[in-house]
Structure 1
Amino acid sequence: MAQAAADTARTVILTVDDDPGVSRAVARDLRRRYGESYRIVRAESGESALEALRELKLRGDLVAVILADYRMPQMNGIEFLEEALDVYPGARRVLLTAYADTNAAIDAINVVDLDHYLLKPWDPPEEKLYPVLDDLLDAWRTSAYRPVPSTKVVGHRWSARSSDVREFLARNQVPYRWYSVEEPEGQRLLAAAGQDGQRLPLVITPDGTVLVEPEAPELAARVGLATMPTADFYDLVVIGGGPAGLGAAVYGASEGLRTVLVERSATGGQAGQSSRIENYLGFPDGVSGAQLTDRARRQAAKFGAEILTTREVTALEVNGAARIVRFADGSAIAAHSIILATGVQYRQLEAEGCTDLTGCGVFYGSALTEASSCQGHDVYIVGGANSAGQAAMYLSRFAKSVTLLVRGADLSASMSHYLIQQIEEAPNIAVRSHTVVHAAHGTDRLERLTLRHVAGGETEQVEAQWMFVFIGAAPLTDWLGDTVARDGRGFILAGPDLTADGRPPAGWELDRPPYHLETSIPGVFVAGDARAESAKRVASAVGEGAMAVMLVHRYLEQS
């Protein structure tokens, strides 16, 4: 019994109903019966319930049962449960429905693998609610999704290294529990690990291994991420795990190519850090970057693609028909073909003080693990493109206010129209045009910003604890050197861009011109944001990854 209580101590039963009265009544009945052993979480819309599930997932919490009302606006119960299936596939799913919707509930059994449906009203709960949930909880506890130990991270709240570890685990879909060194449980974990807290963060893996200030490769290997290739030679090596790379891995592996994807940090790239992508085909209600990334990663693995994490590529070489990829540790793998999908990274803000405060209030990208900590605070976002707009909308749910700092006159030059409309309608989001960050101030964390007006040069100081930076991106291609042709900004030239003057690129030895996405090396292709003049959109990156695989087949057939 003691073990059962320990197993369920942080396990959640979630209920969602758009009627506040019904929502409270369900939660009340659940707490009365299960409140001592389970956390009861309630939400009043499918969207807010999904956000709650994602936050629980990032923290490594477990969800045993999800109860959803069928008739909800924007996202009905079946649609919600289908989305929830991706976040917690092992949770038992219950649909609350009226008698008139019984057919819909029966259909849902096949759509979302529904475990049970309950007719409203469920009174008395002792007869109609509790027996059903008792059976479902018993089944969940004995399933493959029963509670398991999770990774624990102990660190300082305002520590760049602690922030990096949390972000790394979250982006790689590794459940973890965060403990501040200031709280009692953090101190207990330090004592159990025999540490005095001088060297942090401390990571305790599910098997009890203690890692002190771990580097990413060690951390990846210890939490179960693949870091070593299983072969020396492949049909296709995909370098980069953003949308283009994941798309290439899915299509390459599904079409019979022995495929390995190599990622230096976490799959998803910049898109994986997006809180909400609303213009991606097939997701009318939007999809988070983490959710899209997780689906794509699982899909690539299902087809047999290897996915290597924390492997930094340092060189690309040609040896006859083989294309050789060299890693930072000196090892190498070879392949018939390569797809370069290295993407881009956010440029660093050069304002005074920003470097020292990175990870301590200054963040590049969305840093979604920090969002809940912005509750009630004033947040500043630097940038005016889609990534900045998506972050502003997401952070506005937590922050007291969100201010977008834009160098230009307005957002129309670089942000999609739908995002501009959402920002204009959000009551706690403001846009300051012709404004840049002149300096960031603080000792252990960000405390103030000095803002400067571009035209007049006037400056002012504002109180600030959070700043998220999205100021354009640079391609991650410096490691290529002169191996493949690049433009003046470092983006990779391919296809027609290589033969604009009617002549083949220097060193080209084949009778045919380069294929559309083929670089200056035959058999080496580029897809996504690293390509010169690419569209810089998730859908186009995925499409280029798929197209690159088609061209790989054409290349292999003619080699």
Structure 2
Amino acid sequence: MNLPVILCIDDDPHVLRVILRDLKDKYRNEYRIIGTTSVKDAFVTLLDLRNKGEAVAMYVSDQRMPEMEGVAFLKQAIKFFPEAKKVLLTAYADKEVAIHAINELRLDYYLIKPWDPPAEKLYPVIDGLLEAWQLNYRPKFTGIKVIGFQYSRLSHEIKEFLSGNLVPYQWVDVQITENSEEILTLNKLELKDLPVIFFADGTLLIKPDIKQIAEKTGLSPELKNEVFDVVIVGAGPAGLAAGVYGASEGLNTLLIERHSPGGQAGTSSRIENYLGFPAGISGAELTTRALTQAKRLGVQFLSPAAVIKISNHQGYKKLMLADGRCINTRSIVLTTGVEYRKLEVNGIEDFTGAGIYYGSATTETMACKNKEVYIAGEAIPPDRRQCTFPNSQVMFT
């Protein structure tokens, strides 16, 4: 996890160097000290930090700056990190402005330049403010964040793809999550732009397709071989096992999955009839172990990718993918698994992934809390129904 940030801004490079030096001398081990002479650059930095999910503990701003006065800057800056402490650097002549800002802006402190020696005039002040900030500081999730509407088909597809491929993410329902629209406003986004994915590096994708997400998260890499010894189509338990066996024998092995590894078993909350796990194991854990083992042995993994055609060419098998890529191999193993049988009801496609789900999708479990849940087909034993959907009224048909 990155250290909390202390952001300093002063249009005078000499003063900025001094404040950065003094703060780094005392706080470099607990905080990341950054500075700029430009208000514009400061706002760009703040937006980037907010999108990454990082924390700003304190603003230290000069009052007299040509682009924007310090008080005005702090008013805008607190929109990004409202809990950050606010310190204003002033000359003696600006003392009245600083006192006014205490009431108007809830300014935490003002420092009259110069603050020499810092051990007496700087550090005691900063220590107290940072201690107060730490009392309410709760580290935020810094990975992938998906912001959208609960009953959105595209939001569901994104969540299902990420969870199925064992990519950690945080789901933010814009309708019920507190302050969820703040990050949209800061990035000049509107509700019509949802769903939006924010990545750990601060970049974002608006209404992305699965291929874009796969490329961004490294799930669709460039292949290292022109010809493979064996290509396995389907990454359920059988496909993953075949990949481990092939790679362990020294074969150049490629595993292709149309959606996510683990197959139907990967979505199971508990598997109790799999060889080698007498106490049972979750589908996610089984998939993680198998995929880690396969990659450690050298299996290349391609997902999402769909094979649409297989043909022979000069003694090799050729697999044509839906995205236009062609893969050559000496042998093919098909472990394509099963397809869910869909309900044949008029209009059901309009709600699939937006209130109607197949396979008791784990990505939607928490959304069912305190709701009425209708299940077609008694796949869940009676003694586990309320555990699966806590505090929900479950009806089976």
CA contact (8 A) 1:151 1:223 kept: no
The answer to whether structure 1 residue 150 and structure 2 residue 143 are counterparts is: yes
Q: Shift in Å at residue 352 of structure 1?
A: 3.1
Matching residue of 2:154: 161
1:201 is aligned to 2:195: yes
Aligned residues: 264
2:380 match: 389
From 163, 174, 177, the equivalent of 2:170 is 177
Partner Cα distance (2:303, 2:383) in 1: 29
* Residue 257 of structure 1: how far off its partner (Å): 0.7
Deviations 1:422-477 (A, max 9, x none): xxxxxxxxxxxxxxxxxxxxxxxxxxxxxxxxxxxxxxxxxxxxxxxxxxxxxxxx
- Spell out, residue by residue over 1:11-43, the C-alpha distance to the aligned partner (whole angstroms, 9 max, x if none): xxxxxxxxxxxxxxxxxxxxxxxxxxxxxxxxx
Contact 1:152–1:203 (Cα < 8 Å) also in 2? yes
Contact 1:217 1:227 in 2 (8 A): no
Instruction: Indicate how the Cα distance of structure 1 residues 306 and 389 shifts in structure 2: closer, same or farther if over 3 A, else same.
Output: same
Task: Show structure 1 runs of 5+ residues with no match.
Answer: 7-60, 62-145, 406-559
SS at match of 1:396: helix
The percent identity for this pair of structures is 41
Once the two structures are overlaid, the 10-residue window that deviates more, 344-353 or 232-241, is: 344-353
Q: Is contact 1:313-1:326 (8 Å) kept?
A: yes
1:362-397 Cα distance to aligned partner (Å, 9 max, x none): 10112101112222333222225xxx2379836634
Q: Residue deviations 1:505-524, cap 9 Å, x none?
A: xxxxxxxxxxxxxxxxxxxx
Structure 1 residue 359: Cα displacement: 1.6
**Partner SS state of residue 198, structure 1:** helix
CA RMSD of aligned residues (A): 2.7
Does 1:3 pair with 2:3? yes
Q: Is the 8 A contact 1:314 1:326 kept in 2?
A: yes
Letter matched to residue 311 of structure 1: A
Rg comparison, structure with higher value: 2
1:328 Cα deviation after fit: 1.2
Indicate the SS of the match to 1:298.
helix
User: What residue is the counterpart of 1:224 in the other structure?
Assistant: 218
TM-score w.r.t. the length of structure 2 is: 0.62
Structure 2 vs 1, CA of residues 159 and 246 (structure 1 numbering), >3 Å: closer, same or farther? same
1:258-407 to 2 correspondences below 5 Å: 258-384=252-378, 388-389=379-380, 393=384, 396-397=387-388, 398-405=390-397
* Matched residue SS, 1:364: coil
Q: Structure 1 residues 257, 320: closer, same or farther in 2, change over 3 A?
A: same
TM-score using structure 1 length: 0.44
Answer whether contact 1:234 1:335 (CA < 8 A) is retained. Answer: yes
CA distance in 1, matches of 2:222, 2:326: 11
Describe the shift of the 1:323–1:275 C-alpha distance in structure 2 as closer, same or farther (beyond 3 A): same
The one-letter code matched in structure 2 to 1:278 is E
CA distance in 1, matches of 2:348, 2:243: 37
* Counterpart Cα distance in 2 of 1:269 and 1:332: 24
Cα drift, residue 224 of structure 1: 2.5
Counterpart contact for 1:381–1:392, Cα < 8 Å: no
Q: Give secondary structure in 2 for the equivalent of 1:361.
A: coil
